Every structure is written in C-alpha cells, then in structure tokens.
Amino acid sequence: MIVPLPRIHLLLDFDSTLTHASTLPLIYNIGFTHQHSSHHISRAYASSSHPLFCSPSPPTYSWSHISALYTHSYVHHTHAYLPPAPLRKTLEQETAWLESLRDVERESYERVEGSGVFKSVRAKDMLQGAEAAVKCGQLRMRDGWTRVMGMARRRGGEGRGGKVGVVSVGWSGEFIRGCLRAALVELLEASESGERRQEVESEVDIEDIVIRANEILGGEEGKMSRYFEENERGGKGGIWTARDKRRVMEMLLRREQGRADRDGSMAVYVGDSPTDLECLLAADVGICMREEGEMSGEQRALEETLQRIGTECQWIGDMKPTDLGARSTDLGNIKQLWWTTNFDQICDSYLFQAAINSESNDTCNSDTRTTG
C-alpha cells in the first residue's frame, strides 16, 4: 500500500527572503514619485486652465528621512529597554522584547501615513512599480523560488498538494504579487528551451499564492490597512511584530487544514530576521535565509538571537530523516532550526528529496508487482 506523503504548507517572508533585499524603499519611492508627478501636473493644469485651483503639496519626507526617524526611535527604545540584549537568554524574554517594538512600528506606520506619500496611489501604480523594479534589476528574487513552490504544491499527491503563502510586515500585497508576476515573466523569457519554460510554468501559480501584508489603501488621506480588527492590546493594528506574523501564519494554516490541528500536513516557514522568530519556531520546519558570504544586519541579528536563547541553526543540507520528527508545541523547547542561502538548497535537502525517493520507490514496487 502506498501511504501518501504529508502535504507541505510553505510559508515565506518576502523582503530579503524571497528577494535579496528590502523592498520598502522601492515602495515608498513609488508613492513619492507619484505625489511629485501629480503635483507638477496639477500646477501646470492650474496655471493654464483654473487659476483658482489649489494643488496639494507633495510629501517633503524622502525615504532616507523616514528611515532615519525610524532608526532614531528604534535606538532610543533599545537603550531604554530592560533587560538589554546580552542578558536576554530565554525565548520568553526575547519574544517580550520583539512585542515591545509594537509602538515603534505603529509610530513609523502613522508617520508614513502622515507624510501623504500614498495619497491617491492605486493598485495599478503598485503593479507598475513592481514590474519596473524587476525589469531594471532593483529587485532580484533568490535562486530556486519557483522550484520550491512547485515542489510544495505537488507534495502529497494529486488533489492533496500543499499551499504556498507569503506573510510580510512590509507594505502592499499588490506590490508583492506584481513582483512575483514580473519575476516569473522574466524567468520564462530567459529560459533557453521550450521544455524549461513549460517546467517553470507548471511549478508556480502566482494567482494561487496567498499573500498577507499591510495594504496601501491610497485615497485622499493616503492611509494603510489595519489587518487586525483587534491586536494584542485590544485596538486595531497592522502586521507589525513577530507575534502578528505568527498569528497570521496560524490563521492561514487553520484555514487550509480545516481545523486547528495539523491534519497530517507539515508547515514549513522560511524567514530572515528577528521578526520571523516566532514563525520559524512555530512551524514544523523553520529555515533561516542567509546571504552567501557576509550576512545582512537583520540576518546577523537573528543568528545572534538564536545563539543567546540556545537554539541551534544547522545547514539544511545536513538534514536527516530523524530530524523530521514531531515538534514540541512549547516553542521554548524547540532547539533546532535550519539555514540556507537559496531555495535550491531546500529543494535538494532531505525535506523534499525524501518525497522524490519515496515516489520513485513506490513506482519501482508497482512495476515489480505488475511484472511479477
């Protein structure tokens, strides 16, 4: 009897995980450019046709200014918070620190809204900006991203394949989906053979990917969404902290599995920063994305956090069958995560190769029974 392999629900961070760098500057500059273009058009229109027309002023804050304000707020909070990082040795202490950043993130969110940078920005503007960023090389996807999505979707057999989702504290699900579409088109155009193009097309369905991020609502006030009607403190809030990301991940898993338990499926989460910590530990398999060579600041911060709280992080290529046993429901007892520098390494690891070997053995056994 052939026992179906467990489905894999693959959940991914976007910035610096699926991509090689943060996309927040790109998204902010889409709005910044839109506001300045609209301002110049309005001024020209007013001077030529409507002398009494008063055009709104464009935002005065550049991305570098917004970023500097966030850094100042973050550093001030870091210096005031106790215990300081070197003395935080438990997961409980670290998750409390990450959750304490909620006000820092909220203030930054409201600062961006107050700048007016996203006034009247439409979904179409986000999609066009995403396509331009991919085409000009400002945004690069990591190697193997379509391959890992395809393997996750096929895992479990016909009609039982897993789902792929993106969970981000960044802005604009529209931008994220636009980037994925444009990157897929670029990959197809670069394929040297028709066979490879068909293979890529079969691996990923961009429209089937579930994306959860902070949305840009645009409109006259340039507001952004509040994903949670009620956050940890009882008010509305966006996807701002590590705990928020974990809540979103668990909601997606419950929706896909039909009930709160795992239903025989396996949740795999890939992320790169401390904001991904709770998701990495809550998943059945948590994988940290790292740059080849020198790690980014966020990647180093996550590595240092794992070392402080006593969680080992091993290269995904060293995964063995015994590493895929049942995980503890107590996140504090989870002492094993994995790291990789691209998605091809994940695909070539035991996590997916076990499925390929099993399917191959099943085929051989079936052939033996038939010929015997």
Q: What is the mean pLDDT of each run of 10 residues along the chain (372 residues)?
A: 66 97 94 76 39 46 91 97 96 97 95 92 94 95 94 68 90 95 92 75 87 92 86 76 96 72 77 97 95 90 96 94 71 81 95 63 42 39
Q: Which helix (H) or strand (E) holds 313?
A: strand 312-315
Phi, psi dihedral angles at 329 (to 5 degrees):
-80, -10
pLDDT value for 210: 94
CB of 350 within 8 A of CB of 320? yes
Q: How far is CA 251 from CA 7, 76, 84, 254, 326, in A?
A: 17, 33, 32, 5, 21
How many contiguous H segments (helices) and E segments (strands) does the chain have? 13, 9
The neighbour count for residue 90, using CB atoms within 10 Å, is 12
The neighbour count for residue 101, using CB atoms within 10 Å, is 20
pLDDT value for 266: 87
pTM reported for the whole predicted model: 0.87
pLDDT value for 52: 34
Phi, psi dihedral angles at 212 (to 5 degrees):
-125, 115
CB of 117 within 8 A of CB of 39? no
Q: Which is nearest to 300 in space by CA: 278, 277, 275, 272? A: 272
pLDDT value for 241: 96
Q: Which helix (H) or strand (E) holds 44?
A: helix 24-48
Percent helix / strand / coil, the chain, rounded to 5 = 55, 15, 35
Cα dihedral across residues 107, 110, 114, 119: positive or negative: positive
Cα dihedral across residues 247, 248, 249, 251: positive or negative: positive
Q: What is the DSSP string of 174-198?
A: HHHHHHHHHHHHHHHHH-SSHHHHH
- The first and second tokens of residue 287, run together, are 């994988």
CB of 117 within 8 A of CB of 33? no
CA distance 289 to 281: 14
Q: Which residue has the tokens 């009607």?
A: 229
CA distance 164 to 206: 10
Burial class (CB in 10 A: 0-12, 13-18, 19+), 57: exposed
pLDDT value for 206: 93
CA distance 365 to 2: 10
Q: Which amino acid is at 310?
A: G
Beta bridge partners of 314: 338
Q: For 171, how many CA atoms within 13 A lie in the half-sphere containing its CB?
A: 28
pLDDT value for 258: 58
